[in-house]
Structure 1
Amino acid sequence: MGDKIPTVEEQAGDDVRYRMLYDSSGRVYTRKISGFYQNIRRYTGLPLIVGFLLMPWLVIDDRPAMLFDLPARKFHILWMTFWPQDGMLLAWLLIIAAFTLFTVTVLVGRVWCGFTCPQTVWTLMFIWAEHFCEGDRNKMMKLDKQAWSLEKVARKGSKHFLWILIAFITGVTFVGYFTPIRELLLGFWPSIAESGLVTFGISPVAAFWTLFFTFMTYMNAGWLREQVCKYMCPYARFQSVMYDTDTLAVHYDKSRGESRGPRKPNEDYKAAGKGDCIDCSWCVQVCPVDIDIRDGLQYDCINCGLCVDACNQVMDKMGYEPGLIRYTSEDQLENGETHFLRPRLFGYIVAVLVMMTAFVYTVGTREPLSVDVIRDRGARLYRLSHDQVQNVYTVKINNMDRHAHSYDIAVEGDGDFRIRGYRPMELEEGEIFTLPVRVSIPKDQLKSSKNVINIIVTAKKDPTITAREKASFIGPSQGLDE
């Protein structure tokens, strides 16, 4: 599919030259550019950043709107609380996300990487800080070549200060999803103990993870950047499996652009055998992963569209038709047609819709209460008391609601089954309560030696919160005189 495979050996005459598969080209100086796709990156990245920063501060029912409380094994998401036993829902969500990513990739390539991936969004913020402090591409290159001076120290220092500030805010916010962010920030405020030492209220664990994510954000978005996309991200490696000839991606129209070369504005370049590409290298200068899209489809390309904006600006200045570099498919370039409806894409869409429907239904009908019933497996399978047959059960009630409730226990079955030996109990939020109960039935109403009953637990103040669990009731064999 046109992927560029790293070369291990290169022939040059009789000599063999070896080249590392990891080959850093040094610092990538990106050119500032404006255009349609650059605006999309801003409009898609800004809501993600704002949502990420504000979510830990939102409060619903006197608690953070999103808090993953690992010590308490509770995961608060908006108005719902999830527990470890809801782990299957997390697995479903990850599978749905994976299939959604596959669907989008088959249709429009690595658009996730180019517009919404956190690595891309945070790198864009760091590049903004770089341009703000050091200037555009040419100024940054000139500044790096200069000897150290007060101006260079001020520009470099201000850039790294902004990088560390953004990274610290990111680290605090991320840890704020696991520790209430107000308590976390207050913990960074120093206080003086009676001994005269300066102390901090933050726990060592929270401090470690805050500094860890601060450091990793600073490194990934500030220093590694394109290396993450090229060598660390697994998505770049298996994307070619999902691409086909109708996948929309950023392509260079070689038939229109070649042969490339500089020319004067009013020159009859076609008579000279030249194409529309003036070989200005703007498409390379704006690329955040430092590739030349004119070399063909490459696994490094994140489909951010910056080269499209840059090329269209050059085409506009030259008076040429835009679209020399554009979002299109291989079929469109070769045959003039793109097939949007194809079996694999249709299958992905159907699978995603089915899984999303099932997931929404499961979450929507999920009861904040779970019940486990275990029948006593002692030496006697049942007990006889006068004319009553009794079975003993252990009932475990898990209150997963965000409020305390008092629960009643009832029994259903084919006969006059009744519960004895229990009283209504009040359970706090997240409390698990285990109690023994006896279920009895008159012997003459018992229709079989093995019966199916349902143990029903219901909240007294909110009957809509209810759960039932099947259990077996064992009695004497029919016709056997006990």
Structure 2
Amino acid sequence: MTQQIKIKEIKTTHKESADRFNPSNRIYVRAAYGFFQKIRKLTGWGLILFFVGLPLLRWNGAQAVLFDIDKQQFHLFNMTLFPQDLTLLAWTFIIAAFALFFFTTYLGRVWCGYTCPQTVWTFIFIWFEERFEGSANKRKRLDQMPWDFNKLWRKTAKHTSWLIVSLLTALAFCSYFVPVDKLYIDFFTGQSSMLVLLMIAIFAGSTYANAGWMRSIFCIHMCPYSRFQSAMFDKNTYSVGYDATRGEARGPRSRKLDRSETDLGDCVDCDLCVQVCPSGIDIRDGLQYECINCGACVDACDETMDKMGYPRGLISYTSEQKLEGKETKVLRPKIVGYGLMLLLMMGLFIANFATLAKVEMEIVRDRSALYRENVDGLIENTYTLKVLNKTVETQQYKISFTGLDEAVLIGPETISLTTGEIFTQPISIAVDPYDIKAKKVTITIKLTNVNDGEVIEQDTSFFLNL
């Protein structure tokens, strides 16, 4: 006997994601105020001051941070790094990756919501948008109005401010690669090279397009982080969430109506959580990859709960475990693993940095001949001495060697190296063949700092008459 399964219709509040490439689906973000927005503004200003101010710092009369591409040097305060020191850059990226894994597993996409440059600059552009075009509803009405003088000047002022911010951002970015005093003077006097102008144009255009026009489209469709976050999230990850048990069934009601006098949940269905969301999603539909954890909906909902006299926290930073009435586990294998790897990478970075040589020396033997006999009848070995000064100060070194007491040095006894200089000098060591019987001797060539006595040395071979 066969039985037919009864069909049951299930109503859902889930909404399909709007096509943000369609201009008619543009997001008009409503301003949000509250505790988390204050934190977001503070972290945003911190990022801006760090980004703009770092290349303006001076150290010993020179720019403290500068990537000199022409000379293949990276000046970092009292150090000068060269291509062979790029292992430090690799360690930096590895540390950043594990830090991202650790904090995302624990706190969700806090990087996206509070310190990501795309988010920070988007909110800067929205601020100018509000100054010239008004609130979200006014901006929407303005876009629907026919073109007139009022609309023209407001749009012109807004886009002009966006372009100015984009230009200043591009100049700040280029100041990491071009000396800041030369960059600004040459740019505003029209003497910048075509390469610098091209860099400024590309970065300014990208800033204008990403923060002004694309906004959430960049986060949703171009940024890979929003896609692979699911690999780091688990039920214990803190992220913005809606307490459906408390909020449903949602619906409007009078403020004077007591909670005990209605069958409705605490959600008044005001849609403020949607209106303040920079990604245009409804957090009440559950966790979505578009959510950047900025907390705007949390502050908007808390404000509504205060007006209604309800407890805060209908929308909050919470975990799936907590929403299910279970305890959130902070220490778990994934968190511990990422934390240990982060500490290990930081330790390796510190060890690499601590052992980084401030001055490097290389001894290269003459490849054309193992030895030669000079006019005085001495056996002579020729070497090329290469010394690299990575410090920001001029260094003086005395050249000496050990291993052949009877030998003499032919070449300069003292050398002086300016900042970032690569010194190359042929030197020779000569010895009377009757003073030594061995056919091959290991010698040590040394550089002794005249000021602090620091010694740099390298072993090499000395060949006699075979």
- For residues 417 and 434 of structure 1, do their structure 2 counterparts lie closer, same or farther at Cα, with a shift above 3 Å needed? farther
Give the distance between the partners of 1:81 and 1:176, measured in 2 at CA.
17
- For residues 276 and 382 of structure 1, do their structure 2 counterparts lie closer, same or farther at Cα, with a shift above 3 Å needed? farther
Q: Which piece of structure 1 moves more, 391-400 or 243-252?
A: 391-400
1:116-174 deviation digits (Å, cap 9, x = unpaired): 11111111111111111111111112222222222222222221121111111111111
SS of equivalent to 1:201: coil
- For residues 471 and 448 of structure 1, do their structure 2 counterparts lie closer, same or farther at Cα, with a shift above 3 Å needed? same
Residues matched between the structures, number: 449
Give the distance between the partners of 1:384 and 1:181, measured in 2 at CA.
53
Structure-1 residue corresponding to 2:72: 73
Q: Which amino acid aligns with 1:430?
A: G
Q: Which of residues 206, 227, 238 is equivalent to 1:237?
A: 227
Matches within 5 A, 1:89-108: 89-108=88-107
Q: State the identity %.
A: 43
- For residues 440 and 244 of structure 1, do their structure 2 counterparts lie closer, same or farther at Cα, with a shift above 3 Å needed? farther
1:250 and 2:250 matched = no
Structure-1 residue corresponding to 2:114: 115
Displacement after TM superposition at 1:108 (Å): 0.6
TM-score by length of 2: 0.87
Q: Which of residues 393, 397, 410 is equivalent to 1:421?
A: 410
Matches within 5 A, 1:4-403: 24=22, 26-190=25-189, 200-267=190-257, 272-378=262-368, 380=370, 391-403=381-393
Give the distance between the partners of 2:149 and 2:18, measured in 1 at CA.
38
SS of equivalent to 2:310: coil
Give the distance between the partners of 1:21 and 1:144, measured in 2 at CA.
18
- For residues 22 and 290 of structure 1, do their structure 2 counterparts lie closer, same or farther at Cα, with a shift above 3 Å needed? closer
Q: Which amino acid aligns with 2:458?
A: E
Structure-2 residue corresponding to 1:467: 456
SS of equivalent to 1:67: strand
Displacement after TM superposition at 1:417 (Å): 7.7
SS of equivalent to 1:188: helix
Matches within 5 A, 1:449-468: 452-464=442-454, 466-468=455-457
Structure-2 residue corresponding to 1:12: none
- For residues 280 and 459 of structure 1, do their structure 2 counterparts lie closer, same or farther at Cα, with a shift above 3 Å needed? same
Give the distance between the partners of 2:264 and 2:369, measured in 1 at CA.
95
- For residues 441 and 240 of structure 1, do their structure 2 counterparts lie closer, same or farther at Cα, with a shift above 3 Å needed? farther
Give the distance between the partners of 2:141 and 2:18, measured in 1 at CA.
29
- For residues 368 and 320 of structure 1, do their structure 2 counterparts lie closer, same or farther at Cα, with a shift above 3 Å needed? same
Equivalent residues of 2:18, 2:25 under 8 A apart: no
Displacement after TM superposition at 1:412 (Å): 4.2
- For residues 170 and 442 of structure 1, do their structure 2 counterparts lie closer, same or farther at Cα, with a shift above 3 Å needed? same
Give the distance between the partners of 2:458 and 2:281, measured in 1 at CA.
60
Equivalent residues of 1:449, 1:474 under 8 A apart: yes
Q: Which amino acid aligns with 1:302?
A: I
Give the distance between the partners of 2:293 and 2:79, measured in 1 at CA.
37
- For residues 402 and 340 of structure 1, do their structure 2 counterparts lie closer, same or farther at Cα, with a shift above 3 Å needed? same
- For residues 23 and 150 of structure 1, do their structure 2 counterparts lie closer, same or farther at Cα, with a shift above 3 Å needed? closer
Equivalent residues of 1:411, 1:417 under 8 A apart: no
Structure-2 residue corresponding to 1:9: none
Give the distance between the partners of 1:178 and 1:473, measured in 2 at CA.
44
Equivalent residues of 1:286, 1:306 under 8 A apart: yes
Q: What 5-or-longer segments of structure 2 have no aligned partner?
A: 1-15
Displacement after TM superposition at 1:378 (Å): 4.4
Give the distance between the partners of 1:447 and 1:115, measured in 2 at CA.
73
Q: Which of residues 401, 405, 411 is equivalent to 2:395?
A: 405
Q: Which amino acid aligns with 1:63?
A: A
Q: Which amino acid aligns with 1:246?
A: N
Give the distance between the partners of 1:20 and 1:272, measured in 2 at CA.
33
Displacement after TM superposition at 1:262 (Å): 1.6
SS of equivalent to 1:357: helix
SS of equivalent to 1:315: helix
Displacement after TM superposition at 1:442 (Å): 8.0
Give the distance between the partners of 2:63 and 2:434, measured in 1 at CA.
57
- For residues 145 and 403 of structure 1, do their structure 2 counterparts lie closer, same or farther at Cα, with a shift above 3 Å needed? same
Displacement after TM superposition at 1:315 (Å): 0.9
Q: Which piece of structure 1 moves more, 203-212 or 115-124?
A: 203-212
Q: Which piece of structure 1 moves more, 467-476 or 51-60?
A: 467-476
Equivalent residues of 1:410, 1:418 under 8 A apart: no
Give the distance between the partners of 1:445 and 1:337, measured in 2 at CA.
83
Displacement after TM superposition at 1:283 (Å): 0.7
SS of equivalent to 1:202: coil
Structure-1 residue corresponding to 2:3: none
Equivalent residues of 1:265, 1:318 under 8 A apart: yes
